[in-house]
Amino acid sequence: RMSMVVNIPIIADIDTGYGEILNVIRTIKELESAGASAVQMEDQVFPKRAGLTLGREVIPAEQMITKLHAAVDAKEDPDFVIIARTDSQPLDEAIKRSNAYYEAGADILFIEDIHSEEEMLKVNKEVKGPTLSVMVEGSGYPFLPGKKLEELGFKMVYYCNSSIFAATKAVYKAMKKLKDSGTTEDVMDEMMQFKEFNELIGFNELTEIEKKYTK
């Protein structure tokens, strides 16, 4: 559905690959055929925990390497990107794993826990392949502008929670206003209006198409 309505690359987060080798192969084939341009797979055990939380455990590096080999072999488009994430600690182990994953065919490497600019520099000095970072508002981890991240050596950055954080606050504010005052009139200027919303989602275009075939 997403590939039908956007004209930018789609990255699919496949967590641990939804299982072992056969599951990984099926996942890659289905997502590539559905229009994804890349997937991210991580080396946590299943069931996994969310990033930046306590209690995360990782599978043996050799097991992840085998899954990466399967993912690379499963893709049809040579430009389909495989992102390998590691949740391993300490940092030296994460760097070691990232290099092994790069040799296994991963295109981009993602180390989940990086606590300082010094560690960022170390990662980009010692990891052989392209790296990405993640910026999470209010996480307590480094939160840097894109230009600074580029200077530190990263080729890509996720702002994976920004939209849902912004949307959640906006919805909370509107619903609280509705509950407290019985109307959203005071926050309407912060909301997308009916006509603007219909234009954004393409409703007006669909209406015109419908008119063409309706007598």
Q: What's the rounded Cα separation, in Å, for the pair 71 and 29? A: 9
pLDDT value at position 113?
86
Return the pLDDT at 1: 81
pLDDT recorded at residue 54? 74
Q: What are the CA-CA distances from residue 65 to residues 70, 72, 85, 112 (Å)?
A: 9, 11, 12, 18
Token code pair at residue 213:
């075939």
Domain ranges across the chain: 2-160, 164-212
Q: How far is CA 184 from CA 107, 171, 189, 195, 198, in A?
A: 47, 11, 10, 17, 19
State residue 48's pLDDT score: 81
Say what the pLDDT of residue 81 is.
98
Residues of the chain below pLDDT 70: none
CATH superfamily of 2-160: Phosphoenolpyruvate-binding domains (3.20.20.60)
Report the pLDDT value the prediction gives residue 4, as an integer from 0 to 100: 82
CA gap 2, 141 in Å, rounded: 31
12 closest CA partner among 28, 25, 23? 28
Instruction: Read off φ and ψ for residue 41, nearest 5 degrees.
Output: -125, 140
DSSP H or E stretch at residue 193: none
How high is the pLDDT of residue 50?
78
**Backbone Cα Rg of the chain:** 21
pLDDT at 129: 97
For residue 61, the one-letter residue type is: A
Q: Taking the model in full, what pTM does it have?
A: 0.88
CA distances from 2 to 8, 13, 111, 201 (A): 10, 14, 27, 12
**pLDDT for the residue 139:** 87
Give the pLDDT confidence of 151-201 residue by residue, as tens digits. 999 999 999 999 999 999 999 999 999 999 999 999 999 999 999 999 999
DSSP state of 50: -
